[in-house]
Chain A
Amino acid sequence: MRSVLFITAFIVVFSCELPPKHATQQNTYSRATDTITQIINEEYVMITTAVTMPMYVNHDQAAFKKWGEKMGVKVSILGPAEWDVPAQINTIEEVIGTKPTGLLINGTDPAIAQVINKAVAAGIPTVVYDSDVPNCNRHAFLGTDWYQIGKMQGEEMVKLINGNGKIAYMGILGLTNMEAGFQGMLDVFKKYPNIEIVGKYDDKANVEEAAKITADVLSAHPDLAGLCGFDSNSGPGMALAVKEAGKAGRVKITTVDWEPEHLALVKEGTIQLLVGQKRELFTWYGAQFLYDMVHKTNALSNNDRQAGITNIPQTINTGLLRITKENIEQFIKHQ
């Protein structure tokens, strides 16, 4: 009995396959895909977290669906309703098994690098959008440089408060790209010794929380000069609290995103600057890249796969929108 146990344990331990030592290889050989020579059931799948979030639905997903209609191909949108990265990873893994024609993945967290590599190794063209995922073999990335978002806000704020005064800022703490944004802003402020940062806050992507934090900061610092927001819900929350304190227009606000509520606040003068992302471009062009890769639209050699190259752009910075009172009318009509 005991010997049977020993032998079983022995076999078990030795048949354990350890994961590969070097998970990533940056050279283009591994980036090349085994593109499907015959396209069966053409379908492009987008996988993101917070799949029901209005900003994602109205910009990313709307453009993706529009693209699908225009090209006459099937598109699907999947992912958990919460910001649940492990669930997103699970979904991607299950989708890989269904062999989609191409994958469009929201780069929510560096941790998804492994599953992206798995998709690429399975021969599926994979494009990442919104935030880049380091150390992965994705075929292309389209997104915004968050550092630039912070820099734009910083520079504008300096102008608005004439280079001196107290500033507070908020966003979702714990996200890599947002930290990059903060850094962009702080680097601008470093050059202005008269600007004092009174706090960095976590508004947990929640309007009420942002409003509450702003109200508290205003009570603690009645002479607050400006507020910078980094997530979608920061703006409306900050504006609400500033209005309630009767300081609309006197406390300067810069923030991100350009949903109808943000635009209204700019028109009314409570928010001075919106730094917008061109999210529609992420998914439209991302899907287009996938399509072109699969259909070999711009084949660069006799067989790109054998040659170990990809025939689509690698990294695209879609740029930023600068929305202020001057151009606000254009955006309101557009909606």
Chain B
Amino acid sequence: MNCRWQMQRRKIFYRWLRIDFIYDPKKVSMLSKVLEERIYSLSILLVVVVVTASFIFPATFPTFENFSQILLNLSIDTIVAVGMMMLLISGVFDLSVGSIVAFAGCLTAYLMHFYQLPVPIAVSIGLLASLIIGWINGYLIAYQGINPMIQTLAMMGIVRGCALLVSGSGIQNLPYWFNAIGQSKLLNIQMPVWYMLITIAVFTFLCTKTIFFRRYYYIGGNEKAADLSGIRVKRMKMIAFIFSAGLAGVAGILLSSRLGAALPTMGRGLELRVITAVILGGASLSGGIGKIPGALLGAVFMGLIANIMVISRISGYWQEIILGLILIITLWADKALQKRYVST
């Protein structure tokens, strides 16, 4: 008798608080829709973080300069993340992207500096080199069946070595028009941010609307079933690696342009950062899920955290620990909430 009355009181209280979905199955489905889609839950989290940080650091955080700086600083990673998201959707990943970023930038700089090639030609050759590396990765992984982690790990070392060979200790003083690619501003926001937004927009469109990219979701969902459904899995996987390497090449050239120099140490640790961002953004190592905008949201989240740590002067020791913890907590909370509210 007593507990039923308590239950009733609790229900009334929850309804007053507007969280009566706990007892209402209809509303559960709306909440579960939000929680199922990482894009929504991550966006909410981002808003919470931005608002909180704006209260704690009102003078330095919520300014146009700071936000455009954050976006600029994550633009390179995000372009690579788009390619990585595609690969994770198909159920594989690429550890060589960091080295490709370095190599593309260094090769382009080398051609411009030592051979005086005009900027468009050097850039094209740099991009072509990245595509070829992607083709090699893709062919060996898709057609020869080499384990993707091992293949791309090996390629990571080889390509990094090539970058060192080509650029020694770095190439400075790159041509003006090359630097202009990455250093020009539009509406007071530096170009790499615009390129990043365009890349996200284009690939979001392609992945949701075209059959070609939709197929990757099937490949990631069940590779054998996809093959039997008429999807040429091997060919598509190879193409995915070409895209990933190509985007890394674009990012590398853009980074060199932004720095005005090509450093063989560019992109060190990039691959793990990008994979973390993409997983935060909704991808899974087992494949089949993830949306391109998630790559942007994941990268933005990591960029915000890094920025907040810089503003609050938390030393670099903590940055990696905090990022790792965030990844674990996010995934754990995600699983726990899914179990409660989403019927399996």
Residue from A15, A84, A93, A97 having most chain B Cβ neighbours under 10 A: A97
> Which residues of A sit under 8 angstroms from B88, Cβ to Cβ?
none
Segment from B58-66, B210-218, B324-332 that makes contact with A: B58-66
In the complex formed, the residue of A with least CB distance to B163 is A174
Partner of A110, one of B73, B168, B261, B319: B261
Question: Which residues from chain A contact B261 at a C-beta distance below 8 Å?
Answer: 109-111
Q: Are A15 and B187 in contact (CB under 8 A)?
A: yes
How many B residues touch the partner, as a band? 35 or more
Interface residues of B in 236-277 (CB under 8 A from A): 255, 259-261, 263-269
With an 8 A cutoff between CB atoms, is B317 at the interface? yes
Q: Which residues of A are found within 8 Å of B167, using beta-carbon distances?
A: 174
Whether A84 and B265, one on each chain, are in contact in the complex, defined by CB atoms closer than 8 angstroms, is yes
Cβ proximity bits B308-328 to A, threshold 8 Å, 1 near / 0 not = 001101011101100000000
In-complex Cβ contact of A83 among B60, B268, B307, B311 (8 A): B268
- Bound-complex Cα distance A125 to B14 (A): 57
Q: How far is the CA of A45 from the CA of B311 in the complex (A)?
A: 11
- A173 vs B160: C-alpha distance in the bound complex, in angstroms? 13
**Is B197 part of the contact surface with A, judged by Cβ < 8 Å?**
no
B143-187 with Cβ < 8 A to chain A: 164, 167-170, 172, 176, 179-180, 183-187
A81 to B315, CA, bound (A): 9
B60 contacts A111, C-beta separation under 8 Å: no
User: Given A18-B180, A86-B266, A174-B168, is A80 in contact with B60 using a C-beta cutoff of 8 Å?
Assistant: no
A176 touches B169 (CB 8 A): yes
Chain B residues in 8 Å Cβ range of A76: 313, 315
Residue pair A51, B170 in contact (C-beta under 8 Å)? no
CB distance from B65 to the nearest CB of A (A): 5
A97 touches B66 (CB 8 A): yes
A79 at the B interface (CB under 8 A): yes
Known: A94-B70, A98-B60, A98-B311. A174 touches B265 (CB 8 A): yes
Determine whether the beta carbon of B184 is less than 8 Å from that of A97. no
Closest beta carbon of chain A to B340's beta carbon, Å: 37
A12 at the interface (CB under 8 A from B): yes
A76 to B310, CA, bound (A): 10
Q: Note all chain A residues with C-beta closer than 8 A to B266.
A: 85-86
A39 located at the interface, meaning its Cβ lies under 8 Å from any Cβ of chain B in the complex? no
- Do B169 and A84 touch across chains, with their CB atoms under 8 A apart? no
A16 touches B185 (CB 8 A): yes
Cβ contact within 8 Å between B265 and A85? yes
A313 at the interface (CB under 8 A from B): no
Complex Cα distance, B180 from A83, in Å, reads 26
Residues in B whose Cβ lies below 8 Å from that of A18: 180, 183-184
Contact yes or no, B316 A81, CB < 8 A: yes
> In the docked arrangement, what's the CA distance between A266 and B222, Å?
62
Residues of A within 8 A of B179 (CB): 19
Known: A91-B310, A95-B310, A173-B164. A51 touches B263 (CB 8 A): no
Which chain B positions have C-beta within 8 A of A79?
316
Q: Which residue of B lies closest to A21 (CB)?
A: B176
Considering only CB atoms, which chain A residue lies closest to B315 in the complex?
A: A77
Of A21, A78, A82, A94, which one neighbours B269 at CB under 8 angstroms? Answer: A82
The answer on a CB contact under 8 Å between A111 and B263 is yes
Question: Residue-by-residue, is A254-291 near B (CB-CB < 8 Å gives 1, otherwise 0)?
Answer: 00000000000000000000000000000000000000
Interface residues of A in 64-119 (CB under 8 A from B): 76-86, 89-91, 93-95, 97-99, 109-111, 113-114
Closest Cβ–Cβ distance, residue B274 to chain A (whole Å): 14
Q: What is the CB-to-nearest-CB distance from A146 to chain B, in angstroms, rounded to a whole number?
A: 12
Contact code string A141-162 (vs B, CB < 8 Å = 1, else 0): 0000000000000000000000
Contacts of A85 in B (CB 8 A): 263, 265-266
Residues from chain A with a CB closer than 8 A to the CB of B317 are 51-52, 81
Q: A17 within 8 Å of B by Cβ?
A: yes
B264 near A174 with CB under 8 A, answer yes
* In the assembled complex, A196 has its CB within 8 A of some CB on chain B: no
Q: How far is the CB of B189 from chain A (nearest CB, A)?
A: 10
Say whether B204 faces chain A, with CB atoms less than 8 Å apart. Answer: no
Given A17-B185, A52-B317, A94-B311; 4 other pairs, CB 8 A cutoff:
A17-B184, A78-B316, A83-B265, A202-B164
Interface pairs (8), CB distance under 8 Å: A17-B188, A19-B185, A86-B263, A98-B310, A98-B311, A111-B263, A113-B260, A173-B164
